[in-house]
Amino acid sequence: MRKAIQYEYGGPEVLRIIEADRPEPGPGEVLVRVRAASVNFGETKLRTGVAKAGPLPFTLGSDLSGTVEATGPGASRFQPGDEVYGVRFVGTYAEYVAVQEDGLALKPDVLDHVGAAALPVAGLTALAAVEEARCGPGQRILIHAAAGGVGHLAVQLAKEKGAFVLATARAAKHDFLAGLGADEVVDYTTTDFTQAVRDVDVVFDLVGGAYGPRSLDSLRPGGLLLSAVLDPGLDENEAEKRGMRYKWVSLRPTSSELEKLTDLVTRGKLRPHVERTYPLEELTDAHRAADAGRVTGKLVVTV
Ligand SMILES: NC(=O)c1ccc[n+]([C@@H]2O[C@H](COP(=O)([O-])OP(=O)(O)OC[C@H]3O[C@@H](n4cnc5c(N)ncnc54)[C@H](OP(=O)(O)O)[C@@H]3O)[C@@H](O)[C@H]2O)c1
């Protein structure tokens, strides 16, 4: 089978495609013939070694959509031929991958493999944030990097819960976000969001660094700052000192959480947007585009 691999940390050029043996599904695992896997921003940090994915060499890729080829000992949830999507921490940029069955769910019928591969990591992160925020009618939430992978799904999930959604993105992406239901969009390249947005109940920060402490300026007293980034720029103490709350959120990579996403897309409440697909052989180009940080929705690699 073909799979991506990197023997060293570095830029997108360290990603190679090699021929390798098919893995065998271990206990509780299923072997999936991967059809698509998406690019997630956090992979840059794994690829460069800023965050650790395990010893070199390794294969990146955290979401997948494909077809069950075989099941390992004790795995009973899926049958060969089932179309599934889900999460594996790393290793999905490959023709075949063995995945714990609890990291998978049946692929929503309304999505093809490209659409389904765009959903797991970004969608589960957006879901975790919107649930933590307890979004509902009368509540105002500001979402940073709203046009990106996690952000564009968080906008839709917060709207579905009835919240008033404010978002930051450059002007070229405002129509896209309005189409997803954002009520107000701030062009952060020309406007200081801390001046334009005040007294919101929740900020979901997907940028980090200085955006963390600055986001407190947009919150009402007692408001909640959620961050999903590696460098949130502040801690609980700093938020508490200003009479606000802070929490780091992360995805819950389980079948039952994936099934919530399946339900939402099946009811037409959630749609991943795929900016572009790349064949596995062009993974380097996909990573170059992701590194630039300007993606609208998701980039997907077809295998
Ligand atoms: N904790 C977890 O479980 C988890 C899971 C997934 C992702 N994450 C993290 O969440 C973050 C977002 O990931 P992602 O995959 O959604 O990223 P992404 O798709 O690469 O985000 C790209 C978007 O970011 C926007 N952006 C960049 N700088 C901005 C700024 N200063 N203000 C507003 N928007 C800005 C860009 O829009 P413009 O062109 O308008 O700038 C672009 O649309 C990453 O740090 C990632 O590591 C965490």
Domain ranges of the chain: 2-119+272-302, 122-248
At residue 123 the predicted structure's pLDDT band, cuts being 50, 70 and 90, is very high
155 Cα to the center of ligand 1, angstroms: 13
What's the rounded mean pLDDT across residues 151-170?
A: 98
Ligand 1 atom closest to 42 (CA): 47
Half-sphere exposure of 301 (CA within 13 A, CB side): 30
pTM of the model: 0.98
CATH of 2-119+272-302 given 3.90.180.10, 3.40.50.720, 3.30.530.20, 3.40.50.150 = 3.90.180.10
At residue 282 the predicted structure's pLDDT band, cuts being 50, 70 and 90, is very high
189 Cα to the center of ligand 1, angstroms: 15
108 Cα to the center of ligand 1, angstroms: 25
Nearest CA to ligand 1 atom 47: 42
Domains 2-119+272-302 and 122-248 share a fold: no
162 Cα to the center of ligand 1, angstroms: 23
pLDDT tens, 55-96? 999 999 999 999 999 999 999 999 999 999 999 989 999 999
What's the rounded mean pLDDT across residues 15-20?
A: 98
At residue 258 the predicted structure's pLDDT band, cuts being 50, 70 and 90, is very high
CB atoms within 10 A of CB 277: 17
Q: Torsion angle of alpha carbons 156, 158, 160, 161, nearest 10°? A: 170
Distance CA 291, CA 303 (A): 21
pLDDT tens, 171-224? 999 999 999 999 999 999 999 999 999 999 999 999 999 999 999 999 999 999
DSSP 282: G
Nearest CA to ligand 1 atom 48: 228
- The CATH code that applies to domain 122-248 is 3.40.50.720
Judged on CB neighbours under 10 Å (0-12, 13-18, 19+), 136 is exposed
